[in-house]
A = this chain, B = another copy of it.
Amino acid sequence: MTSSEPPVLLPEERRERVLNELHRRGTVRVNDLADTLGVTPITVRRDIALLASQGLLRRVHGGATLRDEAASDGGPAAELPDSHTVAGHAAAGHTAVGHTATGHTDGSSGPNGPESPHATVGMVVPSLDYYWPDVIRGVREAAAQAEVRIVLRGATYEAADERRQLDRLVEGVGVDGLLVAPTTTGTEGEELVRWLRSATVPVVLVERSAAIGPYLEPMESVVSDHELGAAVAVRHLAALGHHKVGLLTTLGSPHAPRIRRGWRAACDELELNHTEAPDRETVDHRESGWPATVEEILDACLDSGTTALLVHSDPEAISLVERCQERGIKVPGDLAVLAYDDQVAALCDPPLTAVRPHREAIGRAAFDLLMARLQDPSEDRPKHRVVIGPQLVVRESTAPPT
């Protein structure tokens, strides 16, 4: 939060943020928004009225809600084709037989599943732009096959926020299960994990893992094997003849520690002399400190004779490659660059070799795991964890050192 900043937003931007907030939270209230956006309630109300007239949300007393529901069962409803939908992904391919997800987890009273023949699954991810859309797509595809409804919420990277979302999904929307990529660090993160553990519906962690209980048993989860991904990257570079492979990760990324571990293990195993190779955690490429950091790193590479660099997050890798070219460092001639994520790595000028966590498969596997759990919620079914191997996509930014 910590708002109270009046950086004169364009009205358009402001409305955008209203929608954004709405899609994150599910509901917004006028006064909160007024506070957050630094305008008076009147203005917010006008914004909401405008957006409502465009059918982008539903006005209610005190704020606005996503306009679906309408009559949760009244009629076929189904009137909004838009809403949140990730475009593209035409070739769904898989015809496949659907699941039969009829998890009615209520367990008590309700004699027969009264409403909703199909389950509803809540999903909370830290952001709705980078990385997660593909995961979401995987979930959506699997859910569509199983005829399960997905209720998506984006959170900030703040545990308190996520906790609120989850509460609302379980208590308010009444989901049958949760797919969550929570913040697990910090005090609030721990509390969040505790909340998840005692949640009344099954939970599957996505790209996160956490251990709980008296014996630190892991929760059910689906994760990419980032250790392996980094190791594969290093082995690829080593096979090309590089002897020094540096690492650069973004501060605060939940994946960074695992990537670093894999990188280190592989370097050790292959006896690459990485003691002198750069190993840095940097700010995000949008931060002001980024350009200076890049310079430092490139200097460090040149000084130490490092000929290859594994860079976590495509944008940073691309930005770094651009800077290389400005400084006359040839990629891959002088410095092989390998991006970790493969979100946009292909779009770089020399297209970047990249490690790609298969985000879609992660979503799909997470959904499958949750369905299996809904089908057998008993304690007797042991905790399953699924680990998915990333893939190495070789492009042009890696080559033998010259």
Contacts and interface: CB of A to CB of B under 8 A. Distances in A.
Interface of A: 1, 5, 8, 10-13, 16-17, 19-21, 23-27, 29, 54-56, 60-63, 65-66, 69, 71-77, 80, 84-91, 94-106, 108-118, 142, 145-147, 167-168, 171-174, 195, 198, 214-218, 225, 228, 231-232, 235-236, 239, 358, 361, 364-365, 368, 371-372, 375-376, 381-392
Contact of A61 (B12, B77, B108, B215): B12
A218 B96 contact: no
A167 to B, nearest CB: 8
A239 B104 CA distance: 37
A97 B105 CA distance: 8
7 contacts: A10-B62, A12-B65, A23-B114, A56-B73, A84-B117, A90-B102, A99-B102
Contacts of A16: 69, 172-173
Which of A17, A73, A147, A392 neighbours the largest number of chain B CB atoms within 10 Å of its CB? A73
Contact of A87 (B20, B102, B110): B102
B236 A100 contact: no
Nearest to A30: B10
Contacts of A20: 171-174
Given A11-B62, A16-B69, A216-B231, A96 B103 contact: yes
A99 B100 contact: yes
A76 B72 CA distance: 13
A71 B87 contact: no
A94 B56 contact: no
A352 B67 CA distance: 58
Given A17-B171, A24-B106, A88-B102, A60 B235 contact: no
A147 B87 CA distance: 10
A215 B198 contact: no
A247 to B, nearest CB: 17
Contacts of A110: 24-26
Contacts of A75: 77, 80
A56 B371 CA distance: 29
Contacts of A102: 86-90, 94, 96, 99, 142, 145, 364, 368
Contacts of A113: 84, 86, 90
A146 B103 CA distance: 9
Contact of A13 (B21, B27, B108, B217): B27
B386 A114 contact: no
A387 B389 contact: no
Contacts of A54: 71, 74
B109 A27 contact: yes
B228 A12 contact: no
Contacts of A91: 104
A241 B87 CA distance: 57
A111 B23 CA distance: 11
A383 B232 CA distance: 14
A174 B390 contact: no
Contacts of A389: 217-218, 382-385
A388 to B, nearest CB: 5
Nearest to A219: B389
A13 B172 contact: yes
A392 B216 CA distance: 12
A191 to B, nearest CB: 12
Given A69-B16, A215-B231, A387-B387, A103 B112 contact: no
